[in-house]
Amino acid sequence: GANSPIVKSLIEAAEQKKQVAVLVELKARFDEENNIYWARELEKAGVHVVYGLVGLKTHAKMTLVVKRESDGVKRYVHLSTGNYNTSTAKLYTDFGLFTCNEEICSDVSEIFNFLTGYSEKKKFNKLIVAPINTREKILSLIEREIRHAKKGQAARIIFKLNSLVDPTSIAALYEASTSGVKIDLIVRGICCLVPQIPGLSENIRVTSIVGRFLEHSRVYYFLNNGEEEIYLSSADLMQRNLDRRVEVTFPVENAKLKSLIKTSLLNTAIEDTEKSRILLPNGRYVNSVRVFNQDKINTQENLMNFVINQAKKIQKKEKFIVRKKF
């Protein structure tokens, strides 16, 4: 954005003799002019600025901090489905993961080395990276659900994304449906998959949430016979994301966080009665209709209330700690 506090902090860090490297995507939609300006300001401050790989747009959102602590050097990583943009952060719904998991931190380090030309590593511990292996990995996870369904085991897929266009991914979802996998797709924008067609997609339901905020998070859920897996991503299932962009898909492994995403976001979005539209086989959308005894469910309001309540709990806890200390 035009007034980015993150960039200002990076400049301040460089001025305090910290080693700072930043990848600036000059082809960022709506932000080209701002990014050119900030790239020049970063370079003036002594920041190592790179502009990505030729032929690929960098769409991943990553931050790596390496810090010397009393017990040695430690790495911290933030990964996000949304941009580091102060304007869109107020308008879009997104998820971020802050972690010091060594394998994830190592992967992010390797990706930065890859983007700055210091590494050609194409295998990662935890992260799924486009254009290297994202389509392949998503297809393998869908195939695993198909195998579970054919064995009579618990199988389900829930995807929340902005657009579903990639023909190979759509074909895999059709196959999963015909194999008995129940599939819920929460697609805010373009969806080229046709749901509820007998013999092809009768097990697929497609909805779209259009509310106060722009739905922007990408979430990939696999039931995996009870061993649930959830991935957050910067990538939609489109050819441009899978083949022509640098994207990062990352796992959520903490059981509490997985449960939070499943119940507070995915299940709520599927059951939304206020801002949800249902895609019909003819390509038309109809508003979700609440039956007379059904509770009102508004995904975005529920999430806002949840965050407000969590913030109040944190504030209360912090006040208690301060009182106890003094």
In this prediction, residue 316 has a pLDDT band, given cuts at 50, 70 and 90, of: confident
CA distance 247 to 79: 11
Active-site residue (options: 59, 78, 148, 216): 59
- Per-residue pLDDT at 52: 78
Among 28-37, 204-213, 226-235, 293-302, the range scoring the smallest mean pLDDT is: 28-37
Residue found under tokens 């080229």: 192
Mean pLDDT of the chain: 92
pLDDT over 80 (residue 60) = yes
For the beta carbon of residue 292, count every other beta carbon within 10 angstroms.
4
Q: What is residue 31's predicted lDDT score, i.e. its pLDDT?
A: 67
- Examine the pLDDT at 325 and tell me if it is beyond 60: no
Angle of helix 134-150 relative to helix 167-178, nearest 10 degrees, comes to 10
Task: Work out the pLDDT band at 134, boundaries 50, 70, 90.
Answer: very high
44, two tokens: 């003036």
Q: Catalytic site residue 59?
A: yes
Burial 54-84 (b: 16+ CB within 10 A, else e): eebbbbbbbbeeeeeeeeeeebebebbbbbb
Looking at per-residue pLDDT, the higher value among 319 and 48 belongs to 48
Cα–Cα distance for residue pair 42/60, rounded to 1 Å: 20
Which distant-in-sequence residues (6+ apart) come within 8 Å of 238 by Cβ?
163, 164, 165, 166
pTM of the model: 0.92
pLDDT band at 87 (very low <50, low <70, confident <90, very high): confident
Residues of the chain above pLDDT 70, percent: 95
The pLDDT, as a whole number, for residue 35 is 81
- Beta-bridged to residue 161, according to DSSP, are 187
**Rounded CA gap, 62 and 88, in Å?**
16
pLDDT tens digits, residue range 255-295?
999 999 999 999 999 999 999 999 999 999 999 888 878 88
Q: Which two tokens stand for residue 291?
A: 């039956």
**pLDDT of res. 184:** 98
User: Which residue segments constitute the domains of the chain, with CATH numbers given?
Assistant: 5-120 (3.30.870.10), 129-305 (3.30.870.10)
**DSSP label at 267?**
I
pLDDT digits (tens, 9 = 90+) for 99-133: 999 999 999 999 998 888 766 777 899 999 999 99
More confident site: 287 or 318: 287
What is the mean predicted confidence (pLDDT) over 209-231? 97
Q: Residue 145: is its pLDDT beyond 70? A: yes
How far from 18 is each of 42, 66, 102, 321, CA to CA, in Å?
Answer: 13, 10, 22, 32
Q: Which two tokens stand for residue 271?
A: 């059951």
Q: From CA 67, how far away is CA 176, in angstroms rounded?
A: 45
The confidence score (pLDDT) of residue 320 equals 62
d(CA 193, CA 180): 17
pLDDT at 323: 60
CB 41 within 8 A of CB 52: no
> Phi, psi at residue 63, to the nearest 5°?
-135, 130
Which DSSP string do the residues of 94-118 spell out, in sequence order? --EEEE--HHHHHHHHHHHHHHTTS
**Which residues does 248 contact at the CB level (< 8 Å), separation at least 6?**
60, 61, 62, 79, 111, 127, 128, 129, 130, 233, 234, 235
For 85-101, what is the mean pLDDT?
93
Q: Please return the burial class of 311, using the count of CB atoms within 10 Å of its CB with bins 0-12, 13-18 and 19+.
A: exposed
